[in-house]
Structures are given as structure tokens and as C-alpha cells.
A and B are shown apart, each in its own frame.
Chain A
Amino acid sequence: MSTVSETPTLTTEARGAGHPTDDRTEQQSTARRSARTRRAGKRLVYHLAVLALVVVILYPAVWMLMSSFKPSSDIIGNINVIPETWTFDNYTKAFGGIAGISFWTFFKNSLILAVASVVGVVLSATVSAYAFARIDFPGRGVFFAIMIGTLLLPFHVVIIPQYIIFNNLGLVNSFWPLLLGKFLAAEAFFVFLMVQFMRNLPRELDEAARIDGAGHVRIFRSIMLPLMRPAIITSSIFAFIWSWNDFLGPLLYLKQPDLYSLPIALRIYVDQTSVSDYGAQMAMAVLALIPVLLFFIAFQRYIVAGVATQGLKG
């Protein structure tokens, strides 16, 4: 009986529950109702299980947020997640910055780096992807293979020669070492992503344009760029978030306090403040994460789709 009643239950549910149906006997509808409650019960258990997992996963983030509103003495050794006394002192301290340099300086540095990274990646990756996907130049296969090769290579191999080069150029303590690679399409991941995307665009489009007398520049600007929108958006989001979270790069190249990006400032802050001042650390950690979280909330559809299809890492 129960297996038989599955199907009608499904269809009524799809039509909207509580729909009056034609000639059902008392018996049938009781069976249907009990089947429905059983299914609802199962669904409830399922959602409760998933929600329990959600709580576990979100716990550290919630703990961080709540702790940032607690007096430092309540963060350690106090199990309550909700602050017993709410305070904004931590934020006042965090905005005060380090050694006379305001929080907003670090914020501004991080923002400049992130926005410039996005611009650099979008400009260089789209152009070089166009070259790889649409122009038949000698050695294309070899260059493409080399580019893919750099993807698999641990980036720690290049940091030392890179550092020496930038050091010799006198560019340490400037943003250039962190941005140059992005403007020169050295970020193979984005180039790869865009090449893959561009290869799926119908070639008839550019052939039609070519017959109409358009050159590469024209085809790229008027046909490719508009069609590449989804790939550009995905790349921009990840370029921003990676740059924002980057720690090793700024750690190597930015040694002047007024050039620090947020992660570096945060690290100095942790080293400087006494161990017990967790409150201010938490407040600053929250502030540093807010832009990433806003990005995530705004673009989560693109982000999750990007991960699912391209294996992009967060």
C-alpha cells in the first residue's frame, strides 16, 4: 500500500497540498496522510542532521564574531558564545591601528592590491586567452603546455629567484612585485580558465566578423569580451579574494608599516599585543574578513559554480 500511495502523494504535493481531489475513499486518504507525515518526519530528521552539521561548521566563525564583542577576559576560559557584556572597545582598539598607522591605511593598501589584481588579471588573461584559443601562432602548443606546467609547480620554487629579481630592480617595498605578474598574465589559472571558456564559443561568430572585415582587435573587443562575461566575473571574484587573503606575497615584499596589507598588519598586531588581548585581535580579524564575506554573499552563485566546474580553490 505504501509504495502505491507514494506516487499520488508526490503529484498532489507538486500541485500544492490540500487540493480537493475527486472520488477518494476515507481509507485511501488516511493512508495517504500517514504516508505524508512519515515523509515529512523523514525530511525533518534529514534537515535536523544537516543543520547540526551547519552549526559545527559555522561554530568557529560565529565564535569569532561573538568574541569580538566580548571583553578580552571573557574570551578565554568562558564557554558562553553570546557575550555576557557587550562591548565595542575591541573595535575602537582595532580601528586605532598599529604604531600610529590607522587601520584604514592597511585597508586601503589591501583594497588597492585587490582591485589592481582584478584589473590586471582581467586585462592580461583575456588577451592571452584570445591568443591561445584563436590565433594560430608558431609554438602555440609548446607555450600552452609550459603555461599548464606552471600550474602544477609549487609556487615556492619561484619565490626566491623572483625575490632576487625584484630586489635587484629596487622594487621591494612597493606594490609592483605583487601586481606585475598579474598584468603579465603570469596567473596561469585564469588564462587556462578563459581559454577553456573561449574554446566553447562558436567559431562561426568570429568567421562572420572576419568576412565583414573585422581584425583581431575588433573581434576581441566586440565579440569575445561581451561573450566572456561569466568567465570574467568568476576570474574577477577569485582574483579579488586571493589577493585579499594573500599572506606570503606581502610578507616578502612589503616591509614598511605604511605599506602593509591587512593580513600582514593583522599578524604584526597579534605579535605585538599581549597574548591576553584576544578581543582586539578578533575584532581586527572580523574586519579583515568582512569584504571577503560580502563578496561571497553577493556572488556565491558564481563562486560555487566556478568551483564545481573548474576546480578553483578558495
Chain B
Amino acid sequence: MLASLYLAFTDYNLFRDPQWIGLENFQRLFDDPRFIQSSKVTAIYVLVGTPVKLVAALAVAMLLNVASRGQGAYRSIFYAPSLIGASVSIAIVWKAMFSDDGIVDTVQQFFGFGPGGWVGDPSMTMPMMILLAVWQFGAPMVIFLAGLKQVPAELYEAASVDGAGPVRKFLRITLPMLSPVIFFNLLLETINAFQVFSSAFIISGGTGGPAGSTLFYTLYLYIKGFTDFQMGYASAMAWVLVVVVGIITAIFFKTSKTWVHYSGEAK
């Protein structure tokens, strides 16, 4: 890690000794349009993908949180995509489904939308990537479900007696009681979203195209470090990422005091 910090201040290509160049790497970063693009792509992905995924996870968790037969089976099925979603196989499937004349293209033409797969359209690749992320809602869902089971039923009964409707119960009981779990999921999924790599790599063929629309931060880091062998530059990028993720984590923890509710001391 310290080596990485040192390299961030050098010009190093693996074959020559590192040259100390001070802050130049960082200066170049902010003049690099591809760097700006990759930050933007990742920011959109994190800001849109993570909340959508978590809302889907919570909604399905609440749907499943009723005493009913088959709950265990449903839970396993919904979880399965989380296990395979980041694999190369699924990235290939996604690419095929969203390509020109692929299944999605065919369906959208049937409903009268213009032809064209999402893979080749810079404005549609992001929704496609977010869909892939949302498809993997199973892992946070399982965690939500475990959290929902911890909410004492007496609370709901008491609220019913006081005449609270389902919306009210959700806002006043479910959400506060679930807030530690929401916090945990939010933190975990945000950090994960920053690190998406393989699916973007496969879908864009390792280029981040079309028009840089799938140039995720980690993908650009890989291109810089291991295709162009600008290891100093890539280290600088890695450290910017660490700082950003660190700041976001710190903000989460700081603000958590105001909205995360712990009942008792046990967690």
C-alpha cells in the first residue's frame, strides 16, 4: 500500500526505475477527459444503481416476509443472481440479450420503440448496466429479510390497535427498526458499486465503449495500468478512489447517528 502511495507520485512503466514527479500525476488526472468521463460514469452508476437496487431488495423482502409456504425456496431463487451476476458468463448473456436484434431489441420494436440494441447505444448502456446491478438484488434482500424478522410483532399489533394504516406502519415502525440493516446494506452496496469491473470489461470488450459510456473507473484504471503500463498514473487513480470511498464512508458513519436507530445495545 505504501508502495502504491509512493508510485502515485512517480512516472513508472515497469521497465524503467520510477521517476519522482511529485503531484504531476494528480494534475494530469484532472486534465484528462477520459478520467473525468470514467468518474462521471461511475458516479451515475453508484448514485442511481445502488438506491434502485436497495429499494427493489427491500420491496421483495417485504413481499416475502409473510408466513407462507415456499418462502425458503423463493429466497434462494432470488438470491441466485447475486452469486453469478458478476461472472463473465452473465456479462456475455447480457451483451447478447441487449445487442442489435437481440431479445430486448425485438421486444422494444414490438412495442413501437425504435430499433437498436442497448449495447451499441451510448445513452442506453448505463440503464443496461444498472439493470444488471438491480438483477443482483438478492444479497441485500436476504439481509433485509433477516432484519425484518427481528422486528417484534407486538409493535405492529400495538400500532394496529392505535389505528395506524400500512403506510404509517411502514414509515414509523419498519423503516426505523430496519435502519441499522439499511445502513449496512447501503455502505456495502455503495462500496461494491464503485468496484464494478468484469461486466463492464466484457460488455465493452475491454474498451469502455461505445463513446466511453461504460468506461467505469476501475476499467480505466486497468487500461492505464496494465494496457498502457502507466503504473504511476494508475496508482494515483487508485488513491483518488480510496480517498473518495473513504470520504463517502465517513459521511455515512457521521450522518448515521441521525437516522440509524439502535434498539437496546445489541446489534
Does the CB pair A43–B201 fall under 8 Å? no
Q: Which residues of A contact B138 (CB under 8 A)?
A: 314
Does the CB pair B184–A49 fall under 8 Å? no
Q: Is the interface of B mostly helix, strand, loop or mixed?
A: helix
**Contact digits for B166-192, partner A, Cβ 8 Å, 1 yes 0 no:** 000000000000000000110010011
Task: List B residues 1-19 near A (Cβ within 8 Å).
Answer: 1, 3-4, 7, 14
Asked if A241 is at the interface (CB within 8 A of a chain B CB), the reply is yes
Return the chain A residue nearest B18 by Cβ. A164
Using C-beta atoms within 8 Å of the partner chain, give the interface range for chain A. 35 or more
Asked if A296 is at the interface (CB within 8 A of a chain B CB), the reply is yes
Does the CB pair B70–A79 fall under 8 Å? no
Does the CB pair A160–B80 fall under 8 Å? no
Does the CB pair A60–B88 fall under 8 Å? no
Select one of B83, B90, B102 contacting A241, CB under 8 A.
Answer: B83
Asked if B151 is at the interface (CB within 8 A of a chain A CB), the reply is no
Does the CB pair B96–A46 fall under 8 Å? no
Does the CB pair B202–A314 fall under 8 Å? no
Using C-beta atoms within 8 Å of the partner chain, give the interface range for chain B. 35 or more
Does the CB pair A77–B79 fall under 8 Å? no
Select one of A54, A153, A267, A286 contacting B88, CB under 8 A.
Answer: A267
Bound Cα distance A282, B235 (Å):
36
Q: Is the interface of A mostly helix, strand, loop or mixed?
A: helix
Q: Given the known A-B contacts A60-B93, A161-B3, A285-B88, are A167 and B14 also in contact in the complex, defined by CB atoms under 8 Å? A: yes
Does the CB pair A76–B99 fall under 8 Å? yes
The residues of B with any CB-CB pair to A shorter than 8 Å are 1, 3-4, 7, 14, 60, 63-64, 66, 68, 70, 74-90, 92-97, 99-103, 106-107, 135-136, 138-139, 142-143, 145-146, 184-185, 188, 191-192, 194-195, 197-198, 201-202, 205, 218, 221-222, 225-226, 231, 234-235, 238-239, 241-242, 245, 249
Q: Which 3 residue pairs are nearest across A and B when measured between Cβ atoms?
A: A285-B89, A314-B82, A314-B83
